[in-house]
């Protein structure tokens, strides 16, 4: 079974932003797929299990952006 979670990310403005966020989130253990939507300011992550929020936040921070929330 996989888990799909959508995160709100602030600060993304271009294609490079999408690439950077995608790369950092894809590197997290258990992540199967990452879809970043620049216009919506979201990243949808499909993973093997629920990811610790601190790991997601750190990955987004490493890419240079801010985790603004989680969509239920």
pLDDT tens sequence across 5-61: 999 999 999 999 999 999 999 999 999 999 999 999 999 999 999 999 999 999 999
pLDDT score at 1: 83
Q: Which two tokens stand for residue 22?
A: 């995608």
| Closest of 32, 42, 39, 35 to residue 9, by C-alpha | 42
Q: Give residue for tokens 């990310």.
A: 9
Q: Is the pTM of this model over 0.85?
A: yes
Dist CA 66 CA 55 (whole Å)? 13
| Closest of 47, 16, 18 to residue 56, by C-alpha | 47
Give the residue extent of every domain in the chain.
Answer: 14-38+50-66
Give, to the nearest 10 degrees, the angle between helix 15-26 and helix 53-63: 140
């Amino acid at each position: 079974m996989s888990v799909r979670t959508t995160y709100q990310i602030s600060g993304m403005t271009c294609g490079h932003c999408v690439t950077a966020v995608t790369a950092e989130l894809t590197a997290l253990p258990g992540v199967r797929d990452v879809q970043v939507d620049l216009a919506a300011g979201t990243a949808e992550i499909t993973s093997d299990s629920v990811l610790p929020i601190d790991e997601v936040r750190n990955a987004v921070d490493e890419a240079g952006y801010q985790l603004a929330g989680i969509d239920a």
